[in-house]
Amino acid sequence: MNWLDILVQGVLLGGLYALFAAGLSLVFGIMRLVNLAHGDLIIFAAFAILLAVSTLGLNPFLAALLAAPLMFALGWALQRFVLNRVLGKDILPPLLVTFGLSVALQNGLLEAFSADTRRIPAGPLESASLDLGIVTVGWMPLLTFLSAVLVILALNRIFYATALGRAFRATSDDPVTASLMGIDPKGIFAIATGLAMVVVTVAALYLGMRANFDPSIGPARLIYAFEAVIIGGLGSLWGTLAGGIIIGVAQSLGAAINPEWQILAGHIAFLVVLLIRPRGLFPRAVD
C-alpha cells in the first residue's frame, strides 16, 4: 500500500473535519458555548441546500450561496432569543439547551425528510480527479480542503483586521470589561453564531456532495468537530485545522490497516493528544 497516498487522503479528509469544526471553534472561542446541536445544524443546512437544488434546479454552490444568509439569520436568532438567555458561569444550561435542540432538530428532520439517505448531486465533479504525479487526488476532497483553508483565512482576517474581530476578541477575553468599552456582548454573540452558521453552510455543502447523509448522522460529525477543536486548542482557528488534519490522518491510517478501525483510530489519536496536552496543541485563549 502507498503510505504517501494514505497520508494525502488523510490530510484532505482533515479539511472536511476542519470545516465541521471551524464554526464550533469560533463560537466556543468567543463565548465558551458548547453547541451540542452543531452537527445537527450541519445536517439541517445540508437538507436546506438539497431542497434548493432539487426544487429550484440550482447548482449546489449557488444553492449554498442562497442558504448562507438564511443560516446566518437562523444562527443570529438562535443566539439572540435562546442561547443568550442561558449563557453564564454555569456551563450546564447552555449544554442542556443545545442538547434539547439537537434531539429536536434530528427528529424534526426525520419527520420532514424521512430516514432515507440523501446526497447533493454535484455532477461530474463527484468523480473527477487530478493527477499530481506521485499521488492522484479527487477534485472534491481537494476543493473541500482548500475551502477549509479559505474559511479559516477569512475568519482570521475578520478576527485580527476588523473592528468586529476586535470586539470578538475583547468579548472572548472579558465580556464585562468589553461591555464597559461600549461593546454589547449579546449582540456580538449573536453575530458570531450567525457567522458560525455561514461556516456550517459551507461544511454542509461539502458533506452533502461527498457522502450520503440522513437526519441521524449529526452527532457523529459533532464528535469529530469537537475533537478537532480540542486538539487544536481553545480559540485557535489554525489549531482547529491542525486538529482536523490529525483526526483525518489517523482515520485514514486506521482504515488502511483495517477498515473497521477507521473511526476508532481517530478517537484514539484524540485521546493521546489529550493525555499529553490537556489544553490542546495551540491554545490562544485561557479558559
Partner 1 sequence: MQPTVTTRTRAGTITAVLALILIAVGLALPAFASRSLIQDLFFILTMLTLAQLWNLLAGYGGLVSVGQQAFVGIGAYAMFAGVILWGIDPVLAIPLGGLAALLLAIPTAFFAFRLAGAYFAIGTWVIAEVTRLLIAQWKALGGGTGTSLPREATSDIIGVEAIRTLFDVREAAARDILAYWLALALAVLTIAAIYALLRNRLGLALAAVRDNAEAANSVGVDARRIRWAVFLIAAAMTGLVGALIYVQTARISPDAAFSVTDWTAYVIFIVVIGGIGRIEGPILGVLVFYALQTLLADYGAWYLLTLGLIAIAVMLFAPRGLWGLISDRTGLQLFPVQRRLTGITMKGGKT
Q: CB of 203: closest distance to partner 1 in angstroms?
A: 18
How many CA atoms within 13 Å lie on the side-chain side of 221? 36
**Which one of residues 223, 238, 281, 284 is an interface residue with partner 1 (CB under 8 A)?**
223
**Cα 209 to Cα 50, 116, 140, 229, distances in angstroms:** 9, 16, 8, 23
Under rule CB under 8 A, residue 118 binds partner 1 = no
Binding-site member from 51, 66, 70, 95 for partner 1 (CB under 8 A)? 95
Site stretch for partner 1 (CB under 8 A), options 8-16, 47-55, 104-112, 134-142: 104-112
Q: Which of residues 242-281 bind partner 1 (CB under 8 A)?
A: 260, 263-264, 267-268, 270-271, 274-275, 278
Taking CB under 8 A as the criterion, the residue among 56, 73, 77, 91 binding partner 1 is: 91
State how far the Cα of 248 lies from the Cα of 269, in Å rounded to an integer.
10
- Closest approach, Cβ 126 to partner 1, in A, equals 29
Burial class (CB in 10 A: 0-12, 13-18, 19+), 7: middle
Is the separation of the CB atoms in 13 and 248 below 8 Å? yes
Beta bridge partners of 130: 137
The verdict on 86 binding partner 1 (CB under 8 A) reads yes
82 forms part of the interface with partner 1 (CB under 8 A): yes
Per the CB < 8 A criterion, the answer to whether 246 and 264 are in contact is no
State how far the Cα of 33 lies from the Cα of 17, in Å rounded to an integer.
19
Under the binding rule (CB under 8 A), the answer on residue 117 touching partner 1 is no
Judged by CB, which is closer to partner 1: 188, or 247? 247
SS3 215: coil
User: What is the 8-class DSSP label of residue 134?
Assistant: S
Q: How many C-beta neighbours within 10 Å does residue 275 have?
A: 8
Stretch that binds partner 1, among 90-98, 134-142, 185-193, 205-213 (CB under 8 A): 90-98
Does 93 bind partner 1 (CB under 8 A)? Our answer is yes
Q: Name the grid cell of 26.
A: 469560533
Number of neighbours of residue 166 by Cβ within 10 angstroms: 15
# residues near partner 1 by CB under 8 A: 41
How far apart are CB 227 and partner 1 at their closest, in Å?
7
* Interacting residues with partner 1 (CB under 8 A): 28, 32, 34, 36, 82, 85-86, 91-93, 95-97, 99-108, 110-111, 219, 223, 226-227, 230, 260, 263-264, 267-268, 270-271, 274-275, 278, 287
